[in-house]
């Protein structure tokens, strides 16, 4: 058996804890390049003198729970959940991490739900903390309903999992700031009864990370991809390591951009293929990504051909990753491997209760609901992936041994011609009018109707009254006398004069505050600043 091994970046356990911005200097050189979900499992009971045996028992139970998932699930970064026993200030605990880059929502949902299931059976003395290297994503997902007294950074290190439920260390313990990890653990060890259940947060997290119907929601995001593989060694590697399929799909774009890889259907039929179609379990997100890749590479062929074309793309990507050293292939001799047939999957993990659908190559790549893609933009997007460096285009010719010939065709455009074009535009004093460009962007990129555009211009006109009143819209006022800096100063003075009344001033500040709030994410330190400003005004 040929087993694929991907290098694993060890994540420092310090990422399990959040710190207030003024408490620790952030080391930008040690930030993980990719997003990792991390979790810590603590046994906190002052009546247990030796937690070692309890921790070992939990470790083995969790390994058993994760075994099938790590064996079969098509993780986006190939490697599954890793576990290790760690130590924090003389407190032993289980540390786990999973790289969730590019499939963050699905894989974080899966792990949180799985840990909730594990927590239900672990006991009252077991507390689990779950975050990722970008922050506390659980609290961030509740940004729209989280009480103000638990906004960032007050909520740092307060949210925990116990008996399958989410609990919070109340803000009465060290108010107005996040908890130090040691204070956090001491609270859970000596006074766990002080922890509370915030209904709104619990309901939101229960909905986002369900446990009662686990793993139905998680499995609904998966389906089978059918490939007709050629008879060669690279294909054998793929069949022996089926869960690498998602990792290959997302690396197709990188391979195409860096090495100008392109397969033409003319060469597909020259290979000898296995008569049996091989099925690989992949996520919907990655299948959509594959459809997009096929579209931008103009791989529009019949159903029986596309399974061959996709196989060649993925095998070429696999070879690229092996050659670059990103992954390695170990020969394990005659050791048995887990076959990726549908009955084996169902029996091993879900006892035949779940039926995975077969993804259809004939469907087109679908963007998010409510978004109408512009055909011209899609054409430009396709052109971006097909354009080659130095004005060259490549195509790949395959033979039965996966070897290739490279043909280069110039597009006929030289650097001298490009320079002449630039010089001509400069001599003609040609430029892009900002208003015309903005109008073009609204109509072509955002598909805004002419009637809506006219209405938008009419509604926007009063905002220019301040400048128009002083004649700044007149070109005669801007030439000869004022520099760009002087013009800017005059504009600022007019704005300040316009804010002479208290009503206008407060309205301006309100608009400024609204512009600093980002819809869809936690407002973070800005809310923290406003809260303290409000407190200082109350004292005065």
Confidence of residue 430 (pLDDT cuts 50, 70, 90): low
Pick from 216, 249, 276: which residue ends a domain? 216
Last residue of a domain, one of 216, 231, 264: 216
Whole domain around residue 26: which residue ranges?
2-216
Residue 162 is predicted with a pLDDT of 96
Asked if pLDDT for residue 264 goes beyond 60, the answer is: no
Mean pLDDT of 224-233: 88
Mean of the per-residue pLDDT values for the chain?
74
Helix (H) or strand (E) holding 204: helix 199-208
- Bin 89: left if φ > 0, else alpha if -120 < ψ < 50, else beta: left
| 89-93, 206-210, 229-233, 248-252: range with lowest mean pLDDT | 229-233
Highest mean pLDDT of the ranges 116-125, 309-318, 382-391: 116-125
Domain contains 493: no
| Lowest-confidence region among 214-218, 225-229, 354-358, 414-418 | 414-418
Provide mean pLDDT across the span 370-377. Answer: 47
> How much of the chain exceeds pLDDT 90, in percent?
34
Same domain? 260 vs 235:
yes
Both 269 and 179 in one domain: the answer is no
Instruction: Tell me, yes or no, whether 513 lies in a domain.
Output: no
The whole-angstrom separation of Cα 439 and Cα 446 is 10
Burial class (CB in 10 A: 0-12, 13-18, 19+), 345: buried
The answer as to whether 503 is a domain residue is no
Is the domain of 263 the same as that of 384? yes
Confidence of residue 386 (pLDDT cuts 50, 70, 90): low
DSSP 371-419: ----HHHHHHHHHHHH--GGGEEEEEEE-TTS-EEEEEEE-S--HHHHH
Residue pair 158/178 in contact by the 8 Å Cβ criterion? yes
Per-residue pLDDT at 478: 43
Q: Are residues 177 and 228 in the same domain?
A: no
Residues 184 and 225 in one domain: no
**CATH code of the domain containing 19:** 3.30.70.600
What is the count of structural domains for the chain?
2
Are 209 and 317 part of one and the same domain? no
pLDDT, mean of residues 325-352: 56
Backbone conformation region of residue 438, classed left if phi is above 0, alpha if psi is from -120 to 50, else beta: alpha
Global confidence as pTM? 0.67
Q: What pLDDT is recorded for position 397?
A: 38
Does 142 lie in the same domain as 94?
yes
Q: Tell me the range of 78-87, 145-154, 285-294, 366-375 where mean pLDDT is highest.
A: 78-87
Q: Which one of 159, 187, 216 terminates a domain?
A: 216
Torsion over CA: 318, 321, 325, 328 (sign) = negative
| Same domain? 166 vs 46 | yes
Q: Is the peptide bond before 94 cis (omega within 30 degrees of 0)?
A: no
Among 90-99, 182-191, 205-214, which is the least confidently predicted range?
205-214
The pLDDT tens digits of the residues spanning 190-224 come to 999 999 999 999 999 999 999 888 888 888 889 99
Whether 465 has a pLDDT exceeding 90, the answer reads: no
Torsional sign, CA 186, 187, 192, 196? negative
Same domain, 258 and 342: yes
Residue 146 belongs to some domain of the structure: yes
Higher pLDDT among residues 533 and 411, named by residue: 533
- In the predicted structure, residue 97 carries a pLDDT above the cut 80: yes
In a domain, 420, yes or no: no
> Residue 329: is its pLDDT beyond 80?
yes
């Amino acid at each position: 058996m040929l087993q694929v091994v991907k290098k694993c970046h060890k994540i420092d356990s310090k990422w399990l804890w959040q710190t207030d911005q003024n408490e620790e200097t952030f080391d930008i050189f040690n930030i993980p390049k990719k997003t990792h979900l991390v979790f810590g499992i603590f046994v906190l009971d002052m009546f247990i003198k030796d937690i070692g045996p309890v921790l070992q028992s939990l470790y083995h139970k969790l390994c058993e729970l994760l075994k099938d998932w790590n064996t079969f699930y098509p993780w986006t970064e190939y490697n599954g959940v890793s576990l290790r026993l760690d130590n924090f200030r003389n407190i032993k605990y289980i540390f786990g991490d999973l790289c969730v880059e590019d499939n963050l929502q699905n894989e974080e949902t899966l792990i949180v739900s799985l840990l909730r299931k594990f927590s239900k059976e672990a006991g009252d003395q077991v507390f689990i903390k779950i975050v990722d290297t970008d922050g506390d994503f659980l609290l961030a997902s509740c940004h729209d309903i989280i009480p103000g007294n638990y906004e960032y950074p007050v909520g740092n290190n307060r949210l925990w999992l116990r008996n399958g439920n989410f609990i919070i260390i109340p803000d009465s313990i060290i108010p107005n700031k996040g908890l130090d990890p040691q204070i956090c653990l001491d609270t859970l060890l000596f006074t766990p009864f002080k922890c509370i259940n915030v209904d709104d947060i619990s309901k939101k997290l229960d909905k986002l990370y369900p446990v009662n119907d686990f793993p139905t929601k998680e499995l609904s995001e998966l389906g089978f991809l059918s490939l007709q593989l050629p008879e060669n060694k690279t294909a054998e590697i793929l069949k022996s390591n089926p869960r690498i399929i998602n990792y290959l799909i997302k690396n197709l774009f990188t391979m195409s951009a860096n090495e100008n890889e392109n397969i033409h259907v003319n060469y597909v039929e020259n290979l000898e293929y296995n008569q049996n179609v091989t099925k690989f379990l992949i996520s919907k997100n990655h299948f959509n990504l594959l459809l997009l890749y096929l579209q931008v590479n103009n791989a529009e062929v019949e159903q029986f051909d596309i399974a061959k074309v996709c196989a060649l793309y993925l095998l070429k990507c696999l070879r690229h990753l092996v050659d670059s050293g990103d992954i390695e292939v170990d020969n394990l001799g005659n050791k048995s491997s887990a076959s990726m047939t549908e009955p084996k999957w169902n029996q091993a993990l879900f006892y035949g209760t779940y039926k995975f659908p077969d993804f259809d190559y004939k469907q087109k790549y679908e963007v998010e609901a409510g978004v109408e893609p512009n055909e011209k933009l899609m054409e430009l997007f396709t052109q971006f992936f097909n354009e080659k460096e130095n004005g060259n285009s490549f195509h790949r010719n395959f033979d039965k041994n996966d070897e290739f010939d490279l043909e280069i065709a110039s597009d006929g455009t030289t650097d001298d011609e490009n320079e002449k074009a630039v010089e001509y535009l400069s001599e003609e004093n040609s430029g892009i009018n900002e208003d015309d460009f903005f109008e073009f962007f609204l109509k072509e990129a955002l598909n805004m109707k002419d009637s809506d555009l006219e209405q938008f211009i009419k509604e926007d006109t009063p905002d220019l009254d301040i400048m128009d009143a002083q004649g700044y819209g007149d070109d005669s006022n801007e030439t000869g006398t004022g520099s760009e800096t002087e013009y800017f100063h005059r504009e600022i003075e007019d704005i300040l004069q316009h804010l002479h009344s208290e009503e206008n001033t407060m309205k301006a500040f309100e608009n400024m505050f609204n512009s600093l709030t980002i819809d869809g994410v936690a407002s973070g330190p800005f809310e923290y600043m406003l809260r303290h400003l409000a407190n200082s005004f109350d004292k005065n």
